[in-house]
Amino acid sequence: MSAGFPVARPRRLRRTAALRRLVAPGGVQAGDLVLPLFVKEGISEPRPVGSMPGVLQHTRDSLRKAAVDAVDAGVGGLILFGIPAVKDARGSAADDPDGIIQLALGDLAAEVGQDTVLMADLCLCEYTDHGHCGVLTASRDVDNDVTLERYASAAVAQAAAGAHVVAPSGMMDGQVAAIRTALDRAGFGDVAICAYSAKYASAFYGPFRDAAEGAPQFGDRASYQQDLGRPDEALREVLLDVDEGADIVMVKPALAYLDIIARVAAAVPLPVAAYQVSGEYAMVEAAAANGWLDRDRVIMETLTAIRRAGAGIILTYWAAEVARRLR
């Protein structure tokens, strides 16, 4: 107490769960969450991903069931990753109308397409035999401009199959402009682009490469993904994507890059997405399995941190589970 004025007590508004919900400035909602799903060609039963407990490589049938379950839970969207039976140097399955990703998109468009947002990851690493995100030159560098042609073709194929949003993740220069032009010319002007605008060369991707079977067979992706020590580069990349016609911009990974999410959200007028990646998921699941932390609380704490940083859309492998919890 000082000068006759009552002491402020911020804890009053934290006293009960109902009060905390009432004054929350926009916490995590089920509709903010997007569930990543993997579908693999040539398998008869879904296969568990060993490094990601609870995550599966789906068959087309099990994918449909998982999608219905997630939509019933209230998730805002689904993002698909395809794993073909045959890979080659140019990633031919990526734009094959009969490729696994196109067939799966068609299945889900018929099953839940009126009830959710169908997103498709648009990269070549799942489809190339060398595991890099584009077509290679003779010296085994990624050829940026030839790769743009492949991305444009894949975008049109995904749109034709039923994708509402295509999500280019390869970090090629000019990818958004090439994709936007191709979609518009093909009559898919209403298909949105969620650009992986600030995608870092991160150590958190390891389990995903098990799930998508897309690990590079030589070298790494540091020449086209971003350097974690250069935050200003993220804003440059994001603004380039905005100028090229992106509808949503994404930061990946999320938890180690909350500062980047905040800077991007403050700088652009578009929705900002963040991907809570496989390594973030796996380390929580592993620690919880050993009894080292409270799994449910950590899940909600990390998602809330991502939302608080400024992401309005969160891609997370816990999407369906958390959406049910938030009902």
In tens digits, what is the pLDDT along the chain, a chain of 327 residues?
A: 455 666 667 675 677 776 676 556 678 999 999 999 999 999 999 999 999 999 999 999 999 999 999 999 999 999 999 999 998 888 888 999 999 999 999 999 999 999 999 999 998 888 888 877 777 888 888 788 888 999 999 999 999 999 999 999 877 889 999 999 999 999 999 999 999 999 888 888 878 777 766 666 655 555 656 678 788 888 999 999 999 999 999 999 999 999 999 999 999 999 999 999 999 999 999 999 999 999 999 999 999 999 999 999 999 999 999 999 998
What pLDDT score does 12 carry?
58
Question: SS3 helix, strand, coil % of the chain, rounded to 5?
Answer: 45, 20, 40
In a domain, 276, yes or no: yes
Half-sphere CA count of 270, side-chain side, radius 13 A: 24
Which residues are known to be catalytic? 199, 252
Question: What is the pLDDT, as a whole number, of residue 169?
Answer: 83
The answer as to whether 181 is a domain residue is yes
How far is residue 109's CA from residue 27's CA, in Å, rounded to a whole number?
A: 30
* Residue 53 token pair: 């407990």
Q: Are 249 and 273 in contact (CB under 8 A)?
A: yes
Residue 9 forms part of a structural domain = no
Kindly report the CATH number assigned to the domain that includes residue 316.
3.20.20.70
Give the residue carrying structure tokens 């990601």: 52
Q: What is the DSSP letter of 35?
A: E
Using CA atoms, how far residue 302 sits from 16, 122, 207, in Å, is 21, 26, 19
Residue pointed to by tokens 């929580």: 284
215 belongs to a structural domain: yes
Total domains in the fold of the chain: 1
| 75/260 Cα distance (integer angstroms) | 25
114 within some domain: yes
Instruction: Residue 299: give the domain boundaries.
Output: 28-325
CB 304 within 8 A of CB 25: no
Predicted confidence at residue 127, as pLDDT, reads: 87
Strand pairing partners for 250?
196, 273
Which pair of tokens denotes residue 255?
């938890």
**How do 33-40 and 56-58 pair as beta strands?**
parallel
- pLDDT for 151: 93
Q: Give domain status of residue 264, yes or no.
A: yes
Tokens standing for 6? 């009552």
Looking at residue 286, its amino acid is A
Q: Which residues contact 131 (CB under 8 A, 6 or more apart)?
A: 125, 214, 215, 216, 217
Q: Helix H segments across the chain?
A: 17-23, 60-73, 100-112, 144-161, 175-185, 206-212, 231-244, 258-267, 278-289, 295-309, 319-325
pLDDT for 4: 62
CA distances from 56 to 62, 158, 317 (A): 9, 22, 11
pLDDT of residue 312: 92
Residue 63 in domain: yes
- How many other C-beta atoms are found inside a 10 Å radius of the C-beta of residue 149? 15
pTM of the full structure: 0.90
